[in-house]
Amino acid sequence: MSSNVSESTTAPGANRPGRFSLDVDERTISGALRGWVGKLRSGEPGALPSVLGLVVLVIIFSQVSDRFLSKYNIGAIPTQGAYIAVIALGIVFVLLLGEIDLSAGTAGGTCAAIAAVAVSKGNLHHGLPTAMFWALLIGQLAAIALAVWLRSYVPAIIVAIGFVLVVTNLTQHLFLALVAAICIGTAIGTLTGWLVAKVGIPSFVVTLALFLAWQGVLQFALNGKPIDTSNYNLWHNLTYGNLSPVASWIFIIVVVGLYLAYTLFTSMRAKAANLAHDTIGLVLLRGGVIAVVAVVITILANTNRNTNPYRVIEGIPVPAAIAIVLMVLATLALTKTTWGRHLYATGGNTEAARRAGIDVVKMKVSAFALCSSFGALGGILLASSQSSASLDLGGSNVLLFSVAAAVIGGTSLFGGRGKPRDAIIGAIVITVIPNGLLLKPSLGPQWQQVITGVVLLIAAAVDAVSRRRAVRS
């Protein structure tokens, strides 16, 4: 006991009341490595199993077909799986709470369909059935009121923006229609979060019911007829567009530069305040590794990957850029903000979080609002990849693959553990499976279902076993 007291009193900043020695720990490169090894030993493998699984799949499919590792095929993976990655990113927020959202896919499809109706008809009031249009407005107002009542002010502002866009008919413009679709997704998530957090209905039941309901609403919105979206260049390019080589370099430099600057700033600020922080060496090493990977990817992306000599395809795919930006923003929100720390705490132990003064209801509402917002963007990307807002947009296996992506990537089904990168890695795994199988026509599509199911089962088993080991340790 005496040694502990001595350490806490001699540590920098120990003369400040309420400051413990742990608060001023400085994480070095060797310390970070030891911490990572310690997590592995204690049963927290993180994304390691999914990365190893991805490597195994790449090796197998590269042997199945020599086209698998071609630049054209690799460049097509973001196009094929971006919508899964985006929806999975939203689901990560809910899974961190130990909850589930089974309606994110169909809710996102409904939002995308409303945007398609708005731009194709020129007026939502005339494009949607009358009852549905007024239900949309009332629902948005209800979501604003609920968000304000539950002190979730950011969702309230976002939903209010969508309400204004719908009322003023600015949704006739494509970009604003897509923005309104995401805002409507936020409204849906707010209502879902209220039913789960305040009314007390289990999230599985609520979202399963809404999964079915939004499929019907989608068909009402489209009036039984799909809407072609390939005529809208902006919408089409969300999936099939590529940044120019110059824009690709600018994008990478800005993203990596801002990430490095932000992490350096937060580390130096924490050190100045005598709080726990990473050393400058650790920050630079982490940023350097990310920069090297980003540069290599950009160089490869900027080479022509089309086998047709009459058309050049080069640059970072737009869907990949969207997924990267969203992953970075989600990571910063979860790791560098009070809201993010509260979300992890709520998922780790809801009762302890409540007793610590965390507004658990607010956390759940905000997580579901984010999930449905990401779902709406995923629905928009799905409509882009299909070139239409179809009658089953967001249905079928979309949600199952999105949940599977988050879990396969390393996010725990039991809450409190996971990162946004898990969704991206898991989505790549989910996308690589059908991509590789299609290169071997003799392997039927049923193999996709079998292999995906087995991979998901293995990921869930790893999660359960690792959590049991963590409890024992």
DSSP string, 184-219: HHHHHHHHHHHIIIII---HHHHHHHHHHHHHHHHH
* pTM of the entire predicted model: 0.87
Pairing assessment for the beta strands 388-389 and 227-228 based on DSSP bridges: antiparallel
Q: Could you give the maximum distance between any two Cα atoms of the chain, in Å? A: 77
Give the Cα separation of 429 and 190 in Å (integer). Answer: 30
Predicted pLDDT of residue 279: 84
How many beta carbons lie within 10 A of that of residue 166, not counting itself?
24
Give the Cα separation of 250 and 243 in Å (integer). Answer: 10
Cβ neighbours for 186, distance < 8 A, ≥ 6 positions apart = 143, 155, 158, 159, 162, 369, 370, 372, 373, 376
Predicted pLDDT of residue 143: 95
Give the Cα separation of 430 and 448 in Å (integer). Answer: 9
DSSP string, 129-170: -HHHHHHHHHHHHHHHHHHHHTT-HHHHHHHHHHHHHHHTTG
Predicted pLDDT of residue 7: 39
Give the Cα separation of 392 and 395 in Å (integer). Answer: 5
What the block records as the tokens of 407 is 């879990």
Distance of CA 9 to the CA centre of its chain: 43
Cβ neighbours for 248, distance < 8 A, ≥ 6 positions apart = 298, 301, 302, 315, 316
CB hemisphere CA count around 88 (13 angstroms): 36
Give the Cα separation of 27 and 279 in Å (integer). Answer: 6
One pLDDT digit (tens) per residue for the chain, 473 residues: 444 444 333 344 444 443 444 445 777 888 778 777 777 666 677 677 778 888 888 888 888 888 888 888 888 888 888 999 999 999 999 999 999 999 999 999 999 999 999 999 988 988 899 999 999 999 999 999 999 999 899 999 999 999 999 999 999 999 999 999 999 999 999 999 999 999 999 999 999 999 999 999 999 999 889 999 989 999 999 999 999 999 999 999 999 999 888 888 888 888 888 877 778 888 888 888 989 999 999 998 899 888 777 788 889 999 999 999 999 999 989 988 889 999 999 988 888 989 989 999 999 999 999 999 999 999 999 999 999 998 888 887 888 888 888 888 888 888 888 889 889 998 998 888 888 888 776 666 677 678 777 777 776 776 666 666 655 55
Cβ neighbours for 382, distance < 8 A, ≥ 6 positions apart = 83, 108, 109, 112, 393, 394, 398
Predicted pLDDT of residue 163: 96
Measured between alpha carbons, how far is residue 7 from residues 68, 274, 416 in Å? 57, 15, 31
Q: Which residues pair with 228 in a beta bridge?
A: 388
Measured between alpha carbons, how far is residue 372 from residues 226, 242, 334, 347 in Å? 22, 26, 17, 19
Q: By three-state DSSP, how is residue 435 classified?
A: helix
Q: Where are the domains of the chain?
A: 47-241+317-460
Predicted pLDDT of residue 183: 97
DSSP secondary structure letter of residue 439: T
Domain 47-241+317-460 has CATH 1.10.3470: yes
In 260-331, where do the E strands start and end?
277-278
